[in-house]
Structure 1
Amino acid sequence: MNRAPGPTLADIARAAEVSTATVSHALNGTGRLADATRRRVREIATGLGYAAPSAPRTRSLGLAVTTFAGSAWNFVAVSYFSQWLTAATAAAHAHGYALTTLPADRGAGTPWHTLAVDGMLLLDSPRGDPVLSALRARGIPVVFDGRPADPRPGDVWVDNDHAATTREVLGHLAAAGARRIALHGGFGDEHYTYAVTRAYEEWCAEHGRAPLVIPFAPDDAPGHAFDRAFATRAADAVYCLYDPGARQALAAAARHGLTVPEGLLLVCASEDPAYERSAPPVTTVTLNPALTAETAVAALIAIVESGTGGPPSPPTVPAGLLVRASSVRR
């Protein structure tokens, strides 16, 4: 993992209009600096392509979920990420590596510029990801869960075939009698959201149906985003892209007098086992997080230990449609 010569501490100090001591403190997480100063110096260092001196091998990997603009949200509470983390930890330990999970918040106290790991696993990396920029500048190998929004030659990621999965879901709903299928998504700025939305719009165009994208909001427990579509019966089926989506749709359907599945067909991409026990049981799409995690960890360790690139083509993990009562009309 050789790095080209980059800017020095003095170059960063000139660009940030601070002393080299301030730059050193900001990059190393030491000294008494204002959070704003520390953050600004680190951002300038990343923008200039600063690479910290090579550190010795640690036999430790890092894991971060960097989507949703770096807000301090608890991704471990989401079934997909909790299963991913459990499987990744087991896989890393099986290879003799530790695994450090970083918080979602990207504040000045988060050690992206000083984290001592041999490689990083990035989940749902969005466009313009500052964490990715910092890792690239330091020359730390990265393997992605999900295609990065701005891939570079040699990038390695593990993903599902979201286009094929979306078409399978829409075909299933259409076969069950749906004529006005809405997509509940449009929230994240990662490849998953774009890929599913694009496949949905293409399918609608091919089948002569008007697309209807209902915006998802994580705090919309009553499902108010569905109100207009359900009140006017503009949708008779919904495919939810995010874990809480089906609960929001069920709440809104009950408020508008729609029964599931008779009045509304429902499918949700989720690993939450509670959907199997809901009333009615909800059809889900599993993205197989455990297999994805194991594949990503193996790829990252192979890169770390060989010092070369990853597999010639990104590994694809199959998704699965688990059909239950919410999408089958009797």
Structure 2
Amino acid sequence: MPRVTIADVARAAEVSTATVSNALNCTGRLAASTRARIRTVAAAMGYGDAVAPRTLGLAVTTYGTRPWNYAHVPYFAQAISAATAAAHERGYALITLPAAPDEAVWPSVAVAGVLVLDSPADDPVARTLRARGLPLVFDGRPGPAHPRETWVDNDHPATTREVLDHLTAQGARRVALMAGPGDEHYTRSCLSAYGAWCAEQGVTPRTIPLADDDDQGHALDALLSGADRPDAIYGIYDPCARRVLTAAARGGVRIPDDLLLVCASEDPALAVADPPVSTVSLVPRHTAATAIAALVDLVERPDRPPAPTVVPARLDIRASSTRPAV
């Protein structure tokens, strides 16, 4: 049979080809009923290339085009699980995409919209998806707002201050922030809040980079053995806690006696570590489910984009960051 064209759909729906294009790509100013009618006509005629499938995408673009396995990180593992369940509840499949797939994937992957986690500044993947006119929801705040986009995020400045205030209340005076190499909103926001807090306290910021291939925390050895070593560390990524614990044990640094420790992590093993580690949870299950609900709303009701949402984080205080009252 001859291939159905956009002109065929326009004739059948008794509208212009431009109106068909706007309806199928969720652009332009159309009544929701008109948009739905045209999409129904297009689907009935088999014009599948322009009709969005009931499939959503999930992408982690923290490091741009650099490949890395994010699925083993507890935060992302929980987010993927929750996002999949939320998509299924709304009748959609979910494709989890590699961190840096072949360049041909992004322009052609058949999805109705994409949940983008930890998008860096000037994200090349987001640019490609926007060029396709796809609705996007960001876990983490992107840069300038674009049409058919929204975000879900935690209040990272408030959470950072809560952790820093907790550590100082426990007697810390030289608090260091251990941060990753990413340029996504989360890292930038935590670093900015830490810098502002240090300025208010009149102390010098101490930032510890999170090295890529240093599971044993050897990069911390010189820092923890120095005369002016920090007396508290807040690590904002999952690997921070284990690296600090390993390096501290190797150097004879006692936690919490010599060094207080808080880490942003979803790893349940930290609650039963020796000592149990205080953690910040960014509640990825709630965040991802909220983001998927917003993405489905963007796909199905493009004329009524949902507002951005702030999900509270949670500080669980354990032995690693508490000292007995004197």
- TM norm structure 2: 0.82
Cα distance in 2 for residues equivalent to 1:154 and 1:141: 5
Amino acid at match of 1:101: T
Residue 222 of structure 2 corresponds to 228
Residue 75 of structure 1 corresponds to 70
Residue 2 of structure 1 corresponds to 27
- 1:222, CA displacement in angstroms? 2.0
Cα distance in 2 for residues equivalent to 1:94 and 1:213: 42
The match for 1:327 among 318, 321, 326 is: 321
Cα distance in 1 for residues equivalent to 2:147 and 2:195: 28
Q: Is 1:99–2:124 an aligned residue pair?
A: no
Residue 239 of structure 1 corresponds to 234
Cα distance in 1 for residues equivalent to 2:100 and 2:133: 22
- What is the CA RMSD across the aligned residues, in angstroms? 1.7
Deviations 1:225-254 (A, max 9, x none): 322321114200000011010111111112
Structure 2, unmatched stretches of 5+, are 1-25, 29-47
- 1:181, CA displacement in angstroms? 0.2
The match for 1:158 among 152, 165, 179 is: 152
Residue 292 of structure 2 corresponds to 297
- 1:54, CA displacement in angstroms? 6.3
Residues 110-259 of structure 1 mapped to structure 2, 5 A cutoff: 111-152=105-146, 155-232=149-226, 233-259=228-254
Deviations 1:58-98 (A, max 9, x none): 11101000111332211110000010010010000001011
Cα distance in 2 for residues equivalent to 1:106 and 1:127: 19
Deviations 1:178-215 (A, max 9, x none): 01000000411100000000000111110111110000
Contact 1:67 1:126 in 2 (8 A): yes
Amino acid at match of 1:90: A
Q: Is 1:58–2:53 an aligned residue pair?
A: yes
Deviations 1:90-143 (A, max 9, x none): 0000010110110112333x5111111111000011112111111100101000
Query: What is the number of residues matched between the two proteins?
Result: 280
Cα distance in 2 for residues equivalent to 1:152 and 1:303: 13
| Percent identity (aligned) | 55
Bigger drift between 299-308 and 151-160 goes to 151-160
- SS of 2:109's partner is coil
Residues 244-323 of structure 1 mapped to structure 2, 5 A cutoff: 244-312=239-307, 314-323=308-317
- Computing the radius of gyration from Cα coordinates, the structure with the larger value is 2
Amino acid at match of 1:193: T
- 1:282, CA displacement in angstroms? 0.4
Cα distance in 2 for residues equivalent to 1:164 and 1:253: 28
Amino acid at match of 1:117: V
Structure 1 runs (4+) greater than 4 angstroms displaced: none
Amino acid at match of 1:203: W
Cα distance in 2 for residues equivalent to 1:287 and 1:329: 25
Contact 1:128 1:150 in 2 (8 A): no
Cα distance in 2 for residues equivalent to 1:293 and 1:84: 5
Cα distance in 1 for residues equivalent to 2:91 and 2:202: 54
Amino acid at match of 1:189: D
Amino acid at match of 1:76: A
Cα distance in 2 for residues equivalent to 1:218 and 1:286: 22
- 1:154, CA displacement in angstroms? 5.8
Contact 2:178 2:233 in 1 (8 A): yes
Q: Measured at CA, do residues 218 and 150 of structure 1 come closer, stay the same or move farther in structure 2, by a change above 3 Å? A: farther
Amino acid at match of 1:112: W
Amino acid at match of 1:56: V
Contact 1:214 1:225 in 2 (8 A): no
Contact 2:298 2:304 in 1 (8 A): yes
Cα distance in 2 for residues equivalent to 1:130 and 1:94: 30
Cα distance in 2 for residues equivalent to 1:316 and 1:301: 18
Cα distance in 2 for residues equivalent to 1:220 and 1:283: 22
- TM norm structure 1: 0.81
Deviations 1:293-315 (A, max 9, x none): 11101111111101225224x10
